[in-house]
């Protein structure tokens, strides 16, 4: 049975941001997009990987976890072997955030952005990227205030949003009930110039045309622009 949206097909879910949510982190936020809630916290260390040290650069990586109570049925903790989906998502988050950071401006520093999903209702990876950017920018602002950096190495916004096709209709920012039955599911990350950082698109129940793909990217652009405006209010 098709679910009736209470918002327009081209509208994003309500977004709320609570900055400095984790006092021990250099920068952090609790981001809510609809009923999806993710804590994004950036911490800084001097544990820089060899490949970055050789280039006299710093490094940025991400970790992503869905907490046991984030889904209706309890999700087992990833204690030893990481879930393949989590590893893939955290790599996506790290790649996306690095696209907005000049690593040569943070030599000797390694930043980890932890994304912990408190409640999952679709779009956890995109919320992690969008919130992770704010946490990262706040962390670098803190480092500047402490005299650890001369300038903020973040040179452009980074945000992400989901888009899909369900029942012949194109939808922006899908929740779980929409995503789980979508014919086409796509996650799109962009920078502040609206250049594409990454597209993850799958024809779950049907293939899609290049024209449809372009239309989904156009719709995602609208959502990303709204997310940029929200990000800029907090950092």
Classify each residue of 86-124 as buried b or exposed e, where b means 16 or more C-beta atoms within 10 Å of its C-beta.
Answer: beebbebbbbbbbbbbebebbeebbbbbbbbbebbbbbb
Tell me whether residue 1 is in a domain. no
Q: How far apart are CA 88 and CA 75, in angstroms?
A: 17
Q: How far apart are CA 71 and CA 212, in angstroms?
A: 31
Place of tokens 């072997």: 81
Residue 62, judged by CB atoms within 10 A of its CB (0-12, 13-18, 19+), counts as: buried
Helix (H/G/I), strand (E/B), else coil: 213:
helix
Per-residue model confidence (pLDDT) at position 4: 67
Tell me whether residue 94 is in a domain. yes
Place of tokens 């803190």: 142
pLDDT digits (tens, 9 = 90+) for 154-176: 999 999 999 999 988 999 999 99
Per-residue model confidence (pLDDT) at position 220: 98
Instruction: Single out the residue of 122, 98, 89, 124 nearest to residue 200, CA to CA.
Output: 89
Q: The whole model's pTM is what?
A: 0.94
Tell me whether residue 178 is in a domain. yes
**What is the DSSP-derived secondary structure letter of residue 154?**
B
Per-residue model confidence (pLDDT) at position 75: 83
Tell me whether residue 10 is in a domain. no
Tell me whether residue 8 is in a domain. no
pLDDT digits (tens, 9 = 90+) for 44-90: 999 999 999 999 999 999 999 988 888 888 888 776 666 788 899 99
Residue 216, judged by CB atoms within 10 A of its CB (0-12, 13-18, 19+), counts as: buried
Tell me whether residue 9 is in a domain. no
Per-residue model confidence (pLDDT) at position 3: 56
Which parts of the chain register pLDDT below 70? Answer: 1-4, 79-82
- Domain of residue 164, CATH code: 3.30.230.70
- By residue range, what is the domain housing residue 143? 15-234
Question: How far does Cα 30 stand from its chain's mean position?
Answer: 12
Classify each residue of 143-163 as buried b or exposed e, where b means 16 or more C-beta atoms within 10 Å of its C-beta.
Answer: beeeeebeebbbebbbbbbbb
Cβ 38 vs Cβ 129: under 8 Å: no
Q: How many domains does the chain have?
A: 1
Per-residue model confidence (pLDDT) at position 80: 61
Per-residue model confidence (pLDDT) at position 1: 41
Q: How far apart are CA 221 and CA 57, in angstroms?
A: 31
Radius of gyration from C-alpha coordinates of the chain? 18
């Amino acid at each position: 049975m098709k679910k009736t949206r209470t918002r327009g097909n081209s509208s994003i879910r309500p977004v709320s941001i609570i900055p400095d949510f984790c006092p021990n982190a250099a920068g952090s936020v609790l981001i809510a997009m609809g009923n999806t809630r993710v804590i994004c916290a950036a911490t800084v260390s001097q544990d820089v990987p060899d490949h970055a040290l050789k280039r006299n650069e710093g490094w940025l990586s991400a970790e992503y976890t869905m907490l046991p109570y984030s889904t209706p049925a309890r999700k087992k903790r990833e204690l030893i072997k990481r879930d393949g989906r989590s590893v893939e998502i955290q790599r996506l988050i790290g790649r996306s955030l690095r696209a907005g950071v000049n690593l040569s401006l943070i030599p000797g520093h390694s930043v980890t952005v932890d994304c912990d999903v408190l409640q999952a209702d679709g779009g956890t990876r995109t919320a992690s990227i969008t919130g992770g950017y704010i946490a990262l920018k706040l962390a670098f602002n803190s480092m500047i205030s402490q005299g650890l950096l001369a300038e903020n190495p973040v040179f452009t916004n980074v945000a992400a949003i989901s888009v899909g096709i369900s029942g012949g209709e194109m939808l922006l920012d899908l929740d779980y009930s929409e995503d789980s039955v979508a014919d086409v599911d796509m996650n799109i990350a962009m920078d502040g110039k609206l250049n594409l950082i990454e597209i993850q698109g799958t024809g779950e129940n049907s293939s899609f045309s290049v024209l449809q793909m372009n239309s989904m990217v156009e719709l995602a652009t609208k959502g990303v622009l709204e997310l940029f405006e929200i990000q800029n209010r907090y950092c």
